Amino acid sequence: MARGRWGYAFVCVAAAMTLATQAEPQRPGQGRSMTIARGGIVAAESPLAAQAGAQVLARGGSAVDAAIAANAVMGVVSPMMNGIGGDLFAMVYDAKTGKRYGVNASGWAPRGLTPEFLRAHGATKMPDHGIQSVTVPGAVEGWIKLHEKFGRRPLAEDLSAAVHIAEEGFPVTEWVAIYWQHSVLDQHEDPAAEKLYMREGRPPRVGEIFRNPELAAALRRIGEHGRDGYYRGETAEKLLAAEKRFGGTMTADDLAEFSAEWVEPISTAYRGWTVYEMPPNGQGIAALMMLNILEKFDFSGMKQNSADVLHAEIEAKKLAYADMLHYVADPRYAKVPVAELLSDQHASARARQVDGKHASCAVAPLEVRGAAAADVPAPTLPAHAGDTTYLSTVDRDGNMVSLIQSNYDAFGSGIVADGAGFALQNRGALFSLETGSPNLLAGRKRPLHTIIPAQMEKGTTRIAFGIMGGWNQSQAHAQFVVNVVDFGFNIQAALEAPRFTKKTFEGCDVEMEDGIPASVRAELESRGHKITVHAGYSASVGGGQAVMRDFATGINYGASDPRKDGAAIPEPEK
């Protein structure tokens, strides 16, 4: 049972915690203002990507057209993080119908990639790099699904800015130069990767021009032929040639038969707001479980990032992630008890396990009646896991997109589709070879996934948001929601606020930015938390973007995290 000043605070505080208007002015200490416009807004990790999306909006494109345009540019200008060799998830709010739609474009394992195959080749755990970590890239199929349902402009037009930038080149930005410097390419023996991404044996420096005409050609093929411009034909042949070169199992049928799917977002209520995440096979349910636990505690009268608030958040993270890791998998292959995990009964049981004065260093999953899951260890994660891009868009009609796209690790598997201009993801690293695991590797199965887009709403306010970074994401989402709902932050301030992250599944270790006061950190350490401090804005806690629509006034708002090179750019006025 929670003790100390918590007094096991099963308190319903929806009325007390009601947020003041979202259109509040800049907060003291806030680094930049929100972007505010009557037209659409695109928030992305690169100004070039946000600009490309905003230009599509100005030509009459929808929020989906803008998201595709921005995502395509991100794959050009931040190739280690994302690109057409990776996966994608998106959540769309359709203003006309008031409905939300989810697209799960996470790729499946090749049919021939099985535990038996890997064990026969000497593997005792899932490879975290190399050809056997490669799953079918889902991003392009995600674009196709989104465009067919919500696109207003031709797909080739949506991709035109990315084609131009890839062909003509772009100056490498500050954060991207850091990512490139810490890439894993030098750890792998793929001459095609070094040829494509290195310059005389080194990564490009800040301000140097990088060109990728091979990627420009691949994007043109997608614009001209749709999914067949990627999953069949020349690009597919180049991808399969890389598989053959390194002894992979992927076949032409694995590519041609893959399809993304429309899914129903899952949600929970948090102090009068409704928060939406994507359903499993993603980790988004952990953010909702965290919020359900946190709602059992009364934060009224407390300060944002006080010791009590942070302690509750960190402990809720451990509990939610233990359950997520135990149960979440591809629902086509495993029973995932979503309703039970999001129930009030489950949240109450978990909240009772929070000790207000002591950190828990070992947290077990809570058994759910009727659900079976083996007692298996947490997956071993790649050292730099979580290399991802997130973006959000809103158009002048109020349609909104929350989109996330990733290679998983820096340059994914480290394997390049030679001549096609992109690296192949290593999502297969999140499968397990442990018998009985819900994430046991199987052909045509999708792994447990880290990348998650999100949305939230209350009354006439809608927000599309996300914060990338591997296992950081669900806990960062929960912190963003708490900042908005409990402490009245606008979306820019909510992104800028100092964050913590705990990327491991055991122990009392936790990372924090030094914007969290030393006195607070000392109090947390006295409760048993083992804190690593990062100076300033740290990539360790991920970077986010957000857009918001006030449907009462028709005004749009945008925010961009200072932990990225990005911007929230409004649609140009005609």
Q: What is the pLDDT of residues 292-307, one digit of tens each?
A: 999 999 999 999 999 9
CA 567 to chain centre: 18
DSSP-assigned beta bridge partners for residue 406? 87, 388
3-state SS, residue 466: strand
Integer angstrom CA distances of residue 483 from 286, 339, 381, 463: 18, 26, 29, 13
Q: Is the pLDDT of residue 4 over 50?
A: no
* Predicted model pTM: 0.94
pLDDT at 349 > cutoff 70: yes
User: Above pLDDT 70, what percent of the chain?
Assistant: 92
pLDDT of residue 276: 98
CA-based R_g, the chain, Å: 22
Task: Give residue-wise pLDDT tens across range 478-525.
Answer: 999 999 999 999 999 999 999 999 999 999 999 999 999 999 999 999
Q: Is beta strand 422-423 parallel, antiparallel or unpaired with respect to 454-458? A: unpaired
> Which of 469, 498, 471 is closest to 482 using CA atoms?
498
The pLDDT assigned to 30 comes to: 87
Residue range 143-167: mean pLDDT, rounded? 98
Separation CA 345–CA 323 (nearest Å): 14
Under the banding of pLDDT at 50, 70 and 90, the label for residue 15 is very low
Amino acid identity of residue 66, one-letter, is A
At residue 436, does pLDDT exceed 90? no
Contact 495, 392 (CB under 8 A): no
Q: How far is CA 370 from the centre of its chain?
A: 30
Provide DSSP, 394-463. E-TT--EEEEEEEEESTTTTS-EETTTTEEPP-GGGG-B-STT-TTB--TTPPPPB----EEEEETTEEE
Amino acid, res. 173: T
Cα-Cα end-to-end distance for the chain: 60
Residue 1 has pLDDT above 50, yes or no: no
Question: What average pLDDT does range 399-421 have in this prediction?
Answer: 95
Using CA atoms, how far apart are residues 76 and 90, in angstroms rounded to an integer?
19
Q: What is the pLDDT of residue 161?
A: 98
Q: Which residues contact 174 (CB under 8 A, 6 or more apart)?
A: 206, 565
Cα 93 to Cα 464: distance, rounded to the nearest angstrom: 9
Question: Rounded to an integer, what distance in angstroms lies between the CA atom of residue 39 and that of residue 195?
Answer: 42
Mean pLDDT across the stretch 408-419? 92
- Reported as a single tens digit per residue, the pLDDT across 282-336 is 999 999 999 999 999 999 999 999 999 999 999 999 999 999 999 999 999 999 9
| SS3 call for 134 | coil
Percent of the chain's residues with pLDDT above 90: 86
The Cα–Cα gap between 37 and 558 comes to 9
Rounded mean pLDDT, 169-189: 83
Cα(553)–Cα(130) distance, integer angstroms: 51
Summarize the confidence of residues 560-570 as an average pLDDT. Answer: 96
- Is the pLDDT assigned to residue 380 strictly greater than 60? no
Residue-averaged pLDDT of the chain = 92
Distances (CA, A) of 79 to 75, 360, 403, 475: 5, 39, 17, 26
Structure-token match 């995440």, residue found: 277
Task: Give the separation between CA 409 and CA 429, rounded to whole angstroms.
Answer: 10
* 516 in Cβ contact with 497 (< 8 Å): no
Give residue 370's pLDDT. Answer: 60
Q: How far apart are CA 305 and CA 201, in angstroms?
A: 44
pLDDT-derived band at 229 (thresholds 50, 70, 90) equals: very high
d(CA 390, CA 289): 22
Q: Give residue 64's pLDDT.
A: 98
* Cα distance between residue 565 and residue 262, in whole Å: 31
Ranges of H-type helices in 198-250? 213-225, 233-246
Residue 24 has pLDDT above 70, yes or no: no
